Homo-oligomer: A and B are copies of this chain.
Amino acid sequence: MDSPLVPFGRPPTERADAARNREVLLCTARAMIAELGAEHVTMDGLAERAGLGKGTVFRRFGTRAGIFRALLDAEEQRFQCEVLSGPPPLGPGGDPVDRLIAYGRARTRFLLERHEIARASFERKGPVPPAVGPNFSGPHIRMLLAQAALGLPDPDTLSLQLASALEGPALLFLVADLPPEGRAGCGQDDLGTLLADGWQTLIERIARR
């Protein structure tokens, strides 16, 4: 009857109970984040509320940041799908400069909407946040820059820096814990507009020939 949507999940690797527990933990985590805010979600609390042992939580996610990474990954995948196979200007097919601009707009919105989780997904030791960050943005920007044939030297470094310009403000340099209603004078939407427009200016200037 309830045949699984995915015919064979991960062939030999991952037991059914493990998968189930992963889901339970992810759901519980989402609920706790919504309720308490990401920074008040503790591993003990999560385990207890999910009805599981602490060891299980760590086995599944390795580290506290791992939980938030896992949470992001799911949404990140949908985002990447849109970028890689959606309609233009975001998806393939349009002018690369337009795609760069559209990508920045979409990414800005994506990160701002999730910045609490994104920030929580950083490891305190260890270098790069494995899922967020330039791991997708960098290469994607790099590809579009190449397609745009702007004659730029060292597109590798440049795309890293552009990715940083795009993601840094949301991840690093912005007030993280704006209480639910937003900040005085500048809501999240306004901020998103400002950043998106700034990105567009940046790209237009760089692409100008």
Contact = CB atoms under 8 A, between A and B. Distances in A.
Most-contacted residue by chain B among A163, A167, A173 (CB, 10 A): A173
A160 B197 CA distance: 13
B158 A198 contact: yes
Contacts of A84: none
A44 B87 CA distance: 56
A67 B195 CA distance: 32
Copies of this chain, tallied across the complex: 2
Q: Which DSSP category, helix, strand, loop or mixed, fits chain A's interface?
A: helix
Contacts of A206: 202, 205-206
Interface stretch (A4-12, A23-31, A52-60, A121-129): A121-129
A49 B125 CA distance: 23
A165 interface: yes
A151 to B, nearest CB: 10
A154 B208 contact: no
Given A164-B173, A168-B164, A173-B133, A157 B198 contact: yes
A142 to B, nearest CB: 12
A134 interface: yes
A23 B120 CA distance: 34
Given A125-B177, A162-B202, A164-B173, 9 more contacts: A39-B125, A127-B174, A128-B175, A153-B201, A160-B198, A164-B168, A164-B172, A168-B172, A205-B206
Interface of A: 39, 124-129, 133-134, 138, 152-154, 156-158, 160-169, 171-177, 194-195, 197-199, 201-202, 205-206, 208
5 contacts: A128-B175, A157-B194, A158-B201, A164-B172, A171-B172
